Structure 1
Amino acid sequence: MGELFFLGIILIICILFFFMTFNFPVSILDKSGGAGVFPRVVLIFLAVSIVTRIFIILKDKEKKHFILFELFQGTQLKFFLSIAAYILLLNKLGYIIATLLFAYGTVNGFFYYTTGSSGSKKQILIRNICITLFVFFMHYFFSNILNIMLPKPFWR
């Protein structure tokens, strides 16, 4: 029951944010739909995922206990703190540096948590190259294709 309540709150927040995106300013020359298009897509994806999870919970015959405070312990707490640090550092360090630090830390940290080791040198190298390529691709996608300005480091 607690998880359904928690998911319901997140779903309501998604719906509110979705309608807020229609107030984002759109340039007359902008043919892409404006700055609100990408957040709407993400919010729709999140809402569909939440509704799917709600149906899975309701369909499941074995009810599991959900304790909200378990979200803020162990690995979940570390991930929450890393997201908070990412948000705080994004405007100071810029998109690329902050996102690289966040992705390296979380992906490698979760890999270590799930497997008990960091992996071989080859695995670490491939994983970090993939992270780097993904971050630069997303920067290119947002900056050049969607024409969305991303935070730059404070020294630029």
Structure 2
Amino acid sequence: MNKATARPARKDIRLSFEFFPPKSAEAEGQLWETAAALSAYDPGFMSVTYGAGGSTKAPTLATVRQLLAMGLPAASHLTCVGATKEEVHAVVAEFQAVGVKHFVALRGDPPGGVGTAYQPYPGGYANAAELTAGLRGLADFEISVSAYPEKHPQSPDVR
């Protein structure tokens, strides 16, 4: 590559990696090996998924706790599906107690699965924007969000 076609290095781009909580002892060993190897790329964070309605809360918490213990920049996904605001706040407090300071705020998939209509949970956050505002009101967390690069399938327009 010559200088005319070379791109300058971007210092404002942060790399991140996403993991699912391991479902077996073998997968757990592979996850720690992989996380350690990927740390060489100096990621901004390594996130761990969180199932709808907290279905993977315990495994997510254990995985994030171990990443933090390894000295890695860990973040936990957090959804607002199937939970009241108070229930979400209780989950946040649990994660905060083990040292989590970074959340990836997501609305989450509808309980009926991808393609079904989403309905906010009664007394819960309606979407990721509300969830992000709620997290901001609890503490000075680092918050990342996920978004569609194109129009969201359930949005009437691109705005």
For Structure 1 versus Structure 2, the TM-score category normalised by the shorter chain is under 0.3
Structure with larger RCO (C-alpha < 8 A, sep 6+): 1
Structure number with the higher strand fraction is: 2
Normalising by structure 2, we get a TM-score of: 0.27
Task: Mark the structure with the bigger radius of gyration.
Answer: 1
TM-score by length of 1: 0.27
